[in-house]
Structure 1
């Protein structure tokens, strides 16, 4: 299978299966840095394509600047020692803080930075272009990835993304939600120049369409090694990988999405539930208050269900 997953370009290692950091939170609400270090070690041992910090699952919105710095330094130290690619999520709804995060951590030499658009008030196109320019200046020579999730106040379609990204050559990719066949046709028409990171549980669809370069993956939350083996399969047997995707989506739709749809839990809570189901690192399901988390008993209940439905992901070592 050819396509963006295998393209060698200015994207460097920014492709494939990326595991996210999930913050282990103690009962007192503090970040357990020792457990976080163990989690990074486990992701490195899983031989994922890369590790990234401070996405939604990393509770980017609920940490101090000192905590942000400590997380990035720990990630950078461990990844540099293991020659593991890493991306720093400099994501912050406040643009000033986001730019300061870029400037402070550029010396850690990540393979990329991920940023979000300012979120208190939705930006118009001129403001988006200005923010991308500001982020590019702050990041120096480090490539940038725009994180434009479906819950952002300004969600850009493929043509809009192409229009603004053309003004900001330091931006090499976008993490975004995909859509139906029409969306994929528009993405192929407008966004071929950029690395697109689709939702992890839709990665085979994105690769088969020739659109996806990879995923900052919720499937890696469940089991980073299983997600990596599945991603590697897409290069040699896309039809088998697509069958696994069908079962991953069935597991998500039947057993994970209801926690958000019916009970109002956040996406971060769902990602931590996945990690607890996979039981590959000492993350736990606790979020920082006031955000609610899912009882770990639910992970115990769902683990055998996941092992039965998607053994290729769950049982990988």
Structure 2
């Protein structure tokens, strides 16, 4: 397989944002979570996807989180990627400009979701983001909440117009679509979550958008590496485990609907028991009972995915200083 994509083939990981009881950023917990992800081998991090509550923050919180995220990421040699979720294109443009002043050059775009964009509006949105800021790189977050899921044909057109459209996060894609994505847009790096990555990595040079596998970064990396090596047996075995783990998580959290952060913050709490599960209102987070239930299910059914905390955890380091 040749690989001519504009963005590296890697594991892409979300950073959840911890809020204290007053709804303010829990700075030290956030910094520890970023440092922990880097220490565990995740070198491509982003903030403000759905799991990071990019849809829920006001401008002061946006700026504060971006400042802390960029500072801590760079402290560990990681270039930050910032998500942009808004109904307002002027707000998206303004956020990009503020991030550029901070030296941030990598962004994650989501389409405005109040109404599905038609073709003219779609072209305008990308012209006012990718086209307006040619020195920045953009990843598109392709999700149903936007009202329009982009197709391989859409990406072929956009990739030809915008050389700084470098990657896409796919929240879902059937097998025929996976084949067409690699065939029609080889210049774009396509990232898939666990269940689709296992197939997509056999078709083309897929990136891995880590979700439930983040509970154990070492095994998540093994899953990614199995895809790079096209090791069918390892991929299928680990994918079956991950699908089962996702089911255990949904059973633990209970009936919804729940926004993504309700699940992803459980993963963050697996790494740091002090990580708060609350979401910004009006969204409902998970509970400590759900977190404990999920941990029990992991220990009972998937012990190979249980990461044992040790003395190099930042919380342990702080307690000895």
TM-score for both structures, normalised by structure 2: 0.86
Measure how far apart 1:71 and its partner are.
1.4
Number of aligned positions between the proteins: 308
Conservation of the 8 A alpha-carbon contact between 1:103 and 1:138: no
Structure 1 partner of 2:275 = 283
Is 1:63 the counterpart of 2:57? The answer is: yes
Matches of 2:236 and 2:212, distance apart in 1: 14
Conservation of the 8 A alpha-carbon contact between 1:111 and 1:142: yes
Q: 1:108 to 1:316 in 2, by over 3 A?
A: farther
Conservation of the 8 A alpha-carbon contact between 2:253 and 2:287: no
Matches of 2:296 and 2:221, distance apart in 1: 21
Measure how far apart 1:171 and its partner are.
0.5
Is 1:262 the counterpart of 2:258? The answer is: no
Alignment map for 1:70-109 (pairs within 5 Å): 70-109=64-103
Greater displacement, 36-45 / 170-179: 170-179
Structure 2 partner of 1:306 = 298
Conservation of the 8 A alpha-carbon contact between 1:223 and 1:314: yes
Which of 6, 9, 13 is the equivalent residue of 1:10? Answer: 6
Alignment map for 1:113-192 (pairs within 5 Å): 113-192=107-186
Conservation of the 8 A alpha-carbon contact between 2:4 and 2:187: no
Structure 2 unmatched runs, 5+: 310-321
Measure how far apart 1:292 and its partner are.
0.9
Measure how far apart 1:200 and its partner are.
3.9
Q: Indicate the RMSD between aligned Cα atoms, in angstroms.
A: 2.5
Which of 267, 270, 282 is the equivalent residue of 1:274? Answer: 267
Deviations 1:37-60 (A, max 9, x none): 111111111121311110001101
State the structure with more CA Rg.
Answer: 2
**Aligned partner of residue 123 in structure 1, secondary structure:** coil
Conservation of the 8 A alpha-carbon contact between 2:4 and 2:186: no
Q: 1:107 to 1:73 in 2, by over 3 A?
A: same
Matches of 2:253 and 2:145, distance apart in 1: 13
Structure 2 partner of 1:31 = 25
Deviations 1:137-174 (A, max 9, x none): 44341211111112221111222232233222211111
**Aligned partner of residue 11 in structure 2, secondary structure:** strand
Q: 1:268 to 1:144 in 2, by over 3 A?
A: same
Structure 2 partner of 1:219 = 212
Q: 1:94 to 1:246 in 2, by over 3 A?
A: same
Structure 1 unmatched runs, 5+: none
Structure 2 partner of 1:19 = 13
Q: Which has the higher contact order (CA 8 A, sep 6+)?
A: 1
TM-score for both structures, normalised by structure 1: 0.87
Is 1:41 the counterpart of 2:35? The answer is: yes
Matches of 1:73 and 1:79, distance apart in 2: 10
